[in-house]
Chain A
Amino acid sequence: MADDRDMEQALTQPLPADWRDLLALTKPRVMSLVIFTGLCGLLAAPGQINPVLGFTAILCIAMGAGGAAALNQWWEADIDAGMKRTAGRPLPQGRLDRTTARDFAGVLCAASVFLMGLAIGWLAAGILAISIVYYAVVYTIWLKPRTPQNIVIGGGAGAFPPLIGWVAVTGDITLMPVLLFTIIFIWTPPHFWALSLFVKSDYAKVGIPMLPVVAGERVTRHQILIYSLVLLPISVLPWWIGGAGAIYGVSATVLSLLFLALALRVGLRQRQTDDDAMKPEKQLFAYSVLYLFALFAALVADHYLMLQVA
């Protein structure tokens, strides 16, 4: 009898949040790129950092990014429910209640900034706080539902990690970390617009004014091409100014030329039919992720090889 009552109670009460759902709130796949670029900024910076402090800086960047991603999912739970790509997330699925998600996000964000300030310094902590507010408030709440330029301005949020990693080591902001910021800033629109071209109907359904929805595919394809053209010289700039060596310079040139070639295919193409497989767009999106990994890996490899030669 008591067992029946327990069972009935269990069926009528919502399930408690599982730790895997809390982890999913932090968007672990996006976080991997954030951690990697932050780590590269830290490793490529001149000077040395105590390994425990270096690890803590990267952990804080990851926690801050995770907290901002959780805030994003908390705010957009209703929108996510209407999109095929995001409908399986914990909040739209009802596996997590919104208050838990909000509190979890708040604790992560606060803890990341607090620990960064204590361990590394308040300049790095301040930039981390700005990046969280930029993503959660400026991009998610303000820009994303209002303007098709949301990705251009809001994309800056993802550009902070290498800047924070660099500042964690040097304690000040110089041209090189600003260039690393700029590379990701310029990379974000073609990366995200390639994705939005093949999930356009999802965005249209929930009323998010992504560029392909508002301005059409032709404009989006041209914009992808323009940003990819700008990315080529920007990515090579660290070599030109002497902040990186030839290994980075050659890698950046080759990687960016390939990026441009794939962007050209997307930029000069027209959708053939409604059920077009959008293969070039998917290829550009996949390559853009690989591009950023390879570019930052080349920066670190170059830094250590130059140190060995010196």
Chain B
Amino acid sequence: MNQPPRTPEQIRRSRNRVLGLALAGFVILVFFVSIARIKAGIG
């Protein structure tokens, strides 16, 4: 089934959502890395 072509605004919004989620994931990961380093006694 052919989907209608997406508008530039839809493409931009979808890309920004993915990049935003990736950035949020990155920040959360840094947070967990800090905890993991403390637990592993690396400091």
Contacts and interface: CB of A to CB of B under 8 A. Distances in A.
A115 B35 CA distance: 14
Q: Decide if the interface of chain A is mainly helix, strand, loop or mixed.
A: helix
A16 interface: yes
A18 interface: yes
Contact of B14 (A18, A53, A119): A18
A10 B7 contact: yes
Given A10-B7, A10-B8, A16-B8, A52 B32 contact: yes
Interface in B4-43: 7-8, 11-12, 14-15, 18-19, 26, 29-30, 32-33, 35-37, 39-40
Contacts, number: 48
A22 B15 contact: yes
B11 A16 contact: yes
Interface string A39-67: 00000000000111100100100000000
Given A19-B18, A50-B40, A118 B33 contact: yes
Nearest to A115: B30
A272 interface: no
Interface bracket on B: 10 to 19
Interface string A247-281: 00000000000000000000000000000000000
Interface residues of A, number: 18
A52 B30 CA distance: 10
B8 A118 contact: no
Nearest to B29: A56
Contacts of A246: none
9 contacts: A10-B7, A16-B12, A19-B19, A51-B36, A53-B33, A53-B36, A53-B40, A56-B29, A115-B29
Interface of B: 7-8, 11-12, 14-15, 18-19, 26, 29-30, 32-33, 35-37, 39-40
